[in-house]
Amino acid sequence: MNYLCEKQKDIMSKTNKYNNDFYSRISEILKFARNKVVKTVNATMVETYFEIGRLIVVELYDIQLCHISTLKRNRPNLYSELSWI
């Protein structure tokens, strides 16, 4: 009877070790995936904010060009009037 108990303890010990290794591997896979998701989201956010900033700059540049052309049309002598600047 004592031998069976020892054998069962040995089997349980090996099973527990296997389970711990198994769950550790799963945990590592999940940590890796989580880190990969964080990096991907961060890169996507940087790209998105860069694109938004680029659109704002282009829009402001177009508005300035529109104002300049309007000024040139309405006040053709503006540059000579402001030559003192």
What is the per-residue pLDDT across 15-58, written as a single tens digit (0 to 9) for each? 777 777 888 899 999 999 999 999 999 999 999 999 999 999 99
Contact yes or no for 78/72 (Cβ under 8 A): yes
Please state, in angstroms and as integers, the Cα–Cα distance from residue 65 to each residue in 19, 35, 38, 55, following that order: 69, 45, 41, 15
Residue with the larger pLDDT of the pair 80 and 46: 46
Nearest 5 degrees, angle CA 16-CA 13-CA 18? Answer: 35
Read off the DSSP letter of residue 76: T
Which pLDDT belongs to residue 62? 87
Provide the residue ranges of all domains of the chain, joining segments of one domain with +.
2-81
Alpha-carbon distance of 13 to 8, in angstroms, equals: 8
